[in-house]
C-alpha cells in the first residue's frame, strides 16, 4: 500500500486507534523481532530500504519471505516506481491509502461531532478490528463468531439503507463480561472519550424519561437529558444500556421507537441520527423469564439475543496475566522503584481463579494481591 507523506501521521493514528502498529523495516530488523510480528496487528513500512543503493531487487526477494504470511507492507508513494520494479515478483497488487475514506462519520446539521462507526471501516480495517476485538475480549467464543456474522450482515444492509441501528441484547449473571463487550468495542473503534453508558438501575421512577431525554418545554428541570449528553460527548457509535430490566415501561416504549426509527428525539424536539450505531442492552434476566418480562414488540427489535455464561478457567487465567502485566507496567512507569523481573509470575501464582465466577471480584482480588506484594517488596 502506498501513502502520501502528508497523510502518514494521520494513517499511523488511524491504525493505532484500531490496535495496529506501524513499524519501520529498519527497526524490525535491528531488533530481530520478525518472528514475533502478528499479521493482523503489525504493518511494516519499507520506505527506508527503497530508493537507496542497498535496495536491490535481490535484497527484497530475500527479505520479504522472512516476514509472516499476510503481513501488510506500506511505502511512501514517491517510491512507487521502485516498488513496482523491485517487488514485482513478491506482490499481487498495489493499493493507495486514503485516510479520509474510512472510519469517520461526516458532520451533519444535528451533528454530535466526528464519530467512529463500524459501518465506516474498510474491509481491511474490519478484519483488523475483529482480530483486535477477539483478542481483547476474554472467552465467549460462540458470541464472537455470531457477532462477526451479525456485523457483516449489518454493514451490507446499512449500506443500502435498510438497517439503521444494530441492537444486541446480552443476558446472564453479573460480572461475566456483558458490559465488557461494549467497552471493548469502544476501544477497538479508537474511542478517546468516554463510552456512552446509561444504567437503567437509575431510571426506575415514573419521571425517569425526563431525566433520560430532558424535561419538556415549560417545565423546570434539566433541558438536556443524560442520554443525549453522553451520546454527544462520546466519539464512537457505541451505546451501552446496562441493567435493562430495571427500567420503567415508558422508557421501554421510548427505545422501541428509537430502534424502529434509527434516531433519538429529545423532549425539546432535537433529533440525533443514530444511523450506523450499535446499541448494547445488558440484563441479568435468565432465558426462562426473558419472554415473560419483555413485550413481543420490543423483543422483535433486537437483532441479536445472546446468553452469556461464566468464563472458563483458562480464560480467567489469561485475564489475570494480562491484567497483572498492565498493572506492573503502569507501576514501573509511575514510581522510581522497579519491581523484580519475576514479579509477574509470583503475583499470578497467588490467585486461584477457581474461586471466582464474577470478573469484578477477580479484578478486586488482583488489586489486593498486588498491594500485598508491594508491602512485602
Residue 56 has pLDDT above 60, yes or no: yes
Provide the pLDDT confidence category of residue 111 given band limits of 50, 70 and 90.
very low
pLDDT score recorded for residue 107: 40
CA distances from 149 to 110, 113, 164, 306 (A): 31, 29, 17, 13
Q: What CA–CA distance (Å, rounded) separates 73 from 42?
A: 9
For residue 108, the model assigns a pLDDT of 40
pLDDT at 365: 94
**Nearest to residue 298, comparing CAs of 264, 249, 347?**
249
Q: What is the pLDDT of residue 143?
A: 94
pLDDT attached to residue 168: 97
pLDDT exceeds 60 at position 102: no
Alpha-helical (H) ranges within 47-140 are 57-63, 80-86, 123-136
Q: Read off the pLDDT of each residue in 176-197 and give the average, rounded to a whole number.
A: 92
| pLDDT tens per residue, range 80-94 | 888 887 787 777 678
Q: Which of 104-113, 211-220, 276-285, 287-296 has the lowest mean pLDDT?
A: 104-113
Rounded CA-CA distance 180/55 in Å is: 47
> What is the average pLDDT score of the chain?
84
pTM above 0.85, yes or no: no
Amino acid at each position: 500500500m502506498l501513502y502520501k507523506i502528508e497523510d502518514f501521521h494521520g494513517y499511523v493514528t488511524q491504525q493505532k486507534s484500531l490496535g495496529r502498529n506501524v513499524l519501520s523495516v529498519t527497526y524490525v530488523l535491528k531488533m530481530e523481532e520478525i518472528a514475533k510480528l502478528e499479521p493482523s496487528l503489525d504493518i511494516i513500512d519499507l520506505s527506508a530500504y527503497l530508493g537507496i543503493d542497498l535496495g536491490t531487487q535481490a535484497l527484497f526477494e530475500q527479505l520479504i519471505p522472512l516476514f509472516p504470511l499476510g503481513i501488510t507492507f506500506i511505502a511512501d508513494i514517491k517510491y512507487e516506481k521502485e516498488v513496482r520494479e523491485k517487488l514485482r515478483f513478491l506482490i499481487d497488487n498495489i493499493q493507495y491509502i486514503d485516510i479520509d475514506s474510512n472510519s469517520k462519520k461526516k458532520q451533519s446539521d444535528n451533528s454530535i461531532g466526528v464519530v467512529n462507526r463500524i459501518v465506516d471501516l474498510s474491509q481491511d480495517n474490519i478484519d483488523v478490528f475483529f482480530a483486535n476485538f477477539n483478542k481483547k475480549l476474554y472467552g465467549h467464543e460462540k458470541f464472537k463468531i455470531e457477532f462477526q456474522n451479525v456485523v457483516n450482515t449489518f454493514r451490507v444492509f446499512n449500506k443500502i439503507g435498510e438497517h439503521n441501528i444494530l441492537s444486541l441484547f446480552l443476558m446472564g449473571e453479573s460480572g461475566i463480561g456483558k458490559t465488557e463487550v461494549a467497552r471493548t468495542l469502544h476501544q477497538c473503534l479508537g474511542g478517546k472519550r468516554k463510552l456512552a453508558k446509561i444504567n437503567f438501575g437509575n431510571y426506575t421512577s415514573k419521571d425517569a424519561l425526563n431525566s433520560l431525554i430532558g424535561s419538556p418545554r415549560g417545565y423546570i428541570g434539566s433541558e438536556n437529558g443524560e442520554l443525549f449528553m453522553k451520546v454527544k460527548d462520546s466519539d464512537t457509535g457505541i451505546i451501552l444500556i446496562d441493567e435493562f430490566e430495571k427500567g420503567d415501561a415508558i422508557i421501554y416504549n421510548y427505545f422501541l421507537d428509537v430502534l424502529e426509527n434509527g434516531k433519538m428525539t429529545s423532549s425539546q424536539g432535537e433529533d440525533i441520527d443514530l444511523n450506523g450505531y450499535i446499541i448494547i442492552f445488558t440484563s441479568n434476566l435468565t432465558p426462562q423469564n426473558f419472554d415473560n418480562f419483555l413485550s413481543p414488540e420490543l423483543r422483535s427489535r433486537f437483532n441479536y439475543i445472546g446468553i452469556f455464561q461464566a468464563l472458563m478457567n483458562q480464560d480467567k487465567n489469561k485475564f489475570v496475566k494480562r491484567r497483572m502485566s498492565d498493572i506492573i507496567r503502569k507501576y514501573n512507569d509511575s514510581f522510581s522503584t522497579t519491581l523484580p523481573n519475576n514479579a509477574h509470575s509470583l503475583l499470578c501464582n497467588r490467585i486461584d481463579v477457581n474461586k471466582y465466577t464474577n470478573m469484578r471480584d477477580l479484578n478486586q482480588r488482583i488489586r489486593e494481591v498486588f498491594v500485598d506484594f508491594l508491602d512485602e517488596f
